Structure formats: structure tokens, C-alpha cells
């Protein structure tokens, strides 16, 4: 039994041309088109909706999808194969109404900046900016629908223009509900909406970060797995701090206190600097502070690197997964880091 036999092939095809790619708003075009397997994308979309994030929705198999499948299988009491086997596809088939793609007419709000382009590489230069925003419209749209500019290009025709009213094919990352707690800061609610993060998130009583599987798991008060996210954690220079910690609280759309002494790869001539907030900041859209000094769980400006790169010891998620996690946990939630 195959993905396609049970899930279906989805809709649409082609490559998106970046309108005005050389402008300050849209930046440099994506040069490497990718192939999207729509049946795999459908599986990813269902898992993403159910809280077992495969990271970027790209229609490709790999370790991120395998990890998401294992989490789903564990929750459903299925053999944990990490594969879309017959039993797993039958379970996923119950959610087949969650189509792999959705067609949306672009709005002025979806296209609006401000954008940060050119984007300086060095922290001292970044500190001079008002924000560390998206570099391009395509980058913003990619994060909004839990994917990348290259995937958007693969799902659309070369004639597609990035103008208000244009209908564009996106991975179906639209949430079931977006009724956010009015007590949350207004700018944070706007960020959640811009990332298509739903308001109906399970409540976690414990977070477990497993180095061997490169995942962050959220357990409820009964110890049942309710969500799982692919994560990047530690390196040979800054290993994951194994042990039991607690989540102290969340900083939404945070600035970043850059201290070169805490980074093994920092320029020796750099000085401390306060970097402005923004989705392309070093910690993305949210920082969950840990009881371990200088460590946290946070977002990233590079979602495609999750599970494929090293960090400076912290736990890094995609911006949309970090935002979801922030809705699931409260100050005092235990966080266990293990091998």
C-alpha cells in the first residue's frame, strides 16, 4: 500500500516566478526548483494539523517525516515503524478531508512588509536596524504556510504574480481555529495569525527533549504524548544540557542580547549588542526561558535547517512550532533533556 493509494495526489503544478524579484521587497529569487510529491505532502499536512510536526511541509520523505510518523504511531498505539505502512495510512485516512493544498487569493496584508533587505550578516550591523524582518515576500509566505519559497515555486505556475487578488496554491497549513486569548499581547496574537498557528492547542504538563531522536515531545498530565516537534539541539561545542529543568516563562517577539563570549564561533572583535526583534532574529518569534542559565527553547530564521544543523546548546524549532509550543506550556512546566 502506498501514500498515493490511500491519501491521493492533491492539486496544482508548476513553478512560481517571483514578481519583481530584484526589488527591495522581494529580493533574490530562489534558483533551485524542487519536486513536491503531493501524496507525501498530504501526509505531512495531516500530521502538522494533528500536532506531530514534520517541520517544513515540502512533500519529501526523510528523517523529519519519519520522526513525525513515529510520534503519531505512538499516540495511536500503532507499531512505531516511522513509515507510512498500511495501519498508519488507515489511521491517517480518517483525516483525509484535510486536503494537501489550498488556493488563496493574496491580500494586501499577506504581502505587506516592512521587509529587511538587504539583511546584514554581522550582529553589530543588525543591532542598528529597527527589526529583523523577513527578507522577501516569498520568505514571509513560506513561513505563513509552514514551507519554503522553493516549495511555493513548485506548487504554482511561472506566470503567478505576487499581487493582491492573485490566487496562489499553498500547503494547507490553515488552522481549525484562531480565537486567541485576548489576554495575550496584541502583537503576539498578530504573530500567531501570521504563522497560521491555531488557538486550539493541547495543554502540556511536561516537555521531553530527546537527543537521540532529535525531537521535542509534549506530554499531558497523564503522561500521554499530545504533540511532537522536530528540533535542533546542541553541538560538539555547546552540548545539550542533559538534566531536568523548568520553563520559567515566554518572551514573545523578543529582542536578542548578543554576547560574543557565549558563542564559540563569534568574531573576537564583536561587542555585546541588543538585536531587535523579528522572525529573522537569532531566536525567531519566541523565547521560552529555562531554569538553566543562558538556555531556552526558541524559533529560528532558517526553518529548513531544523534537525539538519547544530545549535549553540539551546533547543531550536521552526517559528510556527515554537509558537505552538508557547501556547501549550506555562511557567513551571518541567523540561527533561535526555540522550
3-state SS record for the chain? CCHHHHHCCCCCCCCCCCCCCCCCCCCCCCCCCCCCCHHHHHHHHHHHHCCECCCCCCCCCCHHHHHHHHHHHHHHCCCCCCCCCHHHHHHHHCCCCCCCEEEEECCHHHHCCCCCCCCCCCHHHHCCCCCCCCCCHHHHHHHHCCCCHHHHHHHCCCCCCCCCCCEEEEECCCCCCCCCCCCCCHHHHHHHHHCCCCCCCCCCCEEEEECCCCEEEEECCCCCEEEEEECEECCCCCCCCCEEEEEEEEEECCCEEECHHHCCCCCCCCCCEEECCCCCCCCCCEEEEECCCCCEEECCCCHHHCCCCCCCCCEECCHHHHHHHHHHCCCCEEEEEEC
* Confidence category of residue 237, pLDDT binned at 50, 70, 90: low
User: Which pLDDT score, from 0 to 100, does residue 11 have?
Assistant: 26
According to DSSP, the residues that pair with 169 across neighbouring strands are 103
Long-range contacts of 282-285 (CB under 8 A, 24+ apart): 282/256, 282/258, 283/254, 283/256, 283/314, 284/319, 284/322, 285/191, 285/195, 285/252, 285/253, 285/319, 285/322, 285/323
Q: What are the CA-CA distances from residue 39 to residues 4, 92, 101 (Å)?
A: 5, 12, 11
The least confident of 37-46, 133-142, 271-280 is 271-280
> Which grid coordinates belong to 133?
524582518
Closest CA to 239 of 312, 142, 140: 312
pLDDT value at 310 more than 70 = no
* Confidence category of residue 7, pLDDT binned at 50, 70, 90: very low
The least confident of 11-20, 47-56, 149-158 is 11-20
pLDDT averaged over every residue in the chain: 87
For the question of whether the overall pTM of this predicted structure is more than 0.75, the answer is yes
User: Which pLDDT score, from 0 to 100, does residue 273 have?
Assistant: 86
The least confident of 18-27, 46-55, 318-327 is 18-27
> Which grid coordinates belong to 252?
514573545
Per-residue pLDDT, averaged over 7-28, amounts to: 35
User: Which pLDDT score, from 0 to 100, does residue 254 have?
Assistant: 96
Cα–Cα distance between 319 and 167 in angstroms, integer?
25
User: Which pLDDT score, from 0 to 100, does residue 338 have?
Assistant: 92
User: Which pLDDT score, from 0 to 100, does residue 172 have?
Assistant: 97
The least confident of 21-25, 195-199, 227-231 is 21-25
> Which grid coordinates belong to 141?
509566505
User: Grid cell 550591523 — which residue?
Assistant: 125
φ and ψ at 98, to 5 degrees?
Answer: -80, 90
Q: Which residue has the higher pLDDT, 259 or 163?
A: 163
Over the stretch 63-77, which tens digit does the pLDDT of each residue have?
A: 999 999 999 999 999
Say if CB 146 and CB 41 are below 8 A apart.
no
Say if CB 324 and CB 197 are below 8 A apart.
yes
User: Which pLDDT score, from 0 to 100, does residue 313 have?
Assistant: 55
Amino acid at each position: 500500500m502506498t501514500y498515493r493509494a490511500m491519501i491521493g495526489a492533491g492539486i496544482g503544478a508548476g513553478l512560481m516566478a517571483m514578481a519583481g524579484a530584484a526589488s527591495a521587497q522581494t529580493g533574490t529569487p530562489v534558483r533551485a526548483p524542487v519536486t513536491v510529491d503531493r501524496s507525501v505532502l498530504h501526509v505531512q499536512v495531516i500530521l502538522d494539523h494533528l500536532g506531530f510536526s514534520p517541520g517544513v511541509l515540502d512533500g519529501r520523505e526523510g528523517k523529519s517525516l519519519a520522526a513525525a510518523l513515529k510520534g503519531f504511531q505512538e499516540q495511536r498505539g500503532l507499531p512505531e515503524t516511522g513509515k507510512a505502512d498500511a495501519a498508519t495510512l488507515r489511521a491517517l485516512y480518517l483525516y483525509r478531508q484535510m486536503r494537501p493544498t489550498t488556493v488563496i487569493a493574496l491580500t494586501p496584508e499577506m504581502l505587506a512588509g516592512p521587509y529587511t533587505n538587504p539583511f546584514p550578516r554581522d550582529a553589530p550591523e543588525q543591532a542598528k536596524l529597527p527589526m529583523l524582518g523577513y527578507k522577501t515576500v516569498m520568505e514571509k509566505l513560506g513561513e505563513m504556510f509552514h514551507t519554503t519559497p522553493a516549495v511555493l515555486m513548485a506548487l504554482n505556475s511561472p506566470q503567478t504574480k505576487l499581487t493582491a487578488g492573485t490566487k496562489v496554491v499553498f500547503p494547507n497549513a490553515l488552522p481549525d481555529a484562531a480565537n486567541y486569548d485576548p489576554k495575550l499581547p496584541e502583537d503576539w496574537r498578530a504573530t500567531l495569525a501570521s504563522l497560521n498557528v491555531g488557538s486550539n492547542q493541547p495543554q502540556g504538563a511536561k516537555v521531553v527533549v530527546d537527543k537521540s531522536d532529535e525531537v521535542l515531545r509534549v506530554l499531558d498530565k497523564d503522561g500521554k504524548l499530545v504533540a511532537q516537534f522536530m528540533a535542533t539541539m546542541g553541538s560538539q561545542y555547546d552540548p545539550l544540557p542533559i538534566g531536568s529543568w523548568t520553563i520559567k516563562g515566554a518572551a514573545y517577539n523578543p529582542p536578542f542580547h548578543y554576547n560574543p563570549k557565549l558563542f564559540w564561533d563569534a568574531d573576537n572583535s564583536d561587542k555585546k549588542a541588543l538585536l531587535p526583534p523579528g522572525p529573522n532574529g537569532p531566536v525567531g518569534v519566541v523565547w521560552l526561558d529555562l531554569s538553566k542559565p543562558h538556555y531556552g527553547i526558541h524559533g529560528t530564521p532558517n526553518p529548513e535547517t531544523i534537525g539538519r544543523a547544530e545549535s549553540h546548546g539551546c533547543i531550536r524549532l521552526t517559528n510556527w512550532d515554537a509558537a505552538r509550543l508557547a501556547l501549550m506550556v506555562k511557567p513551571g512546566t518541567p523540561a527533561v533533556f535526555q540522550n
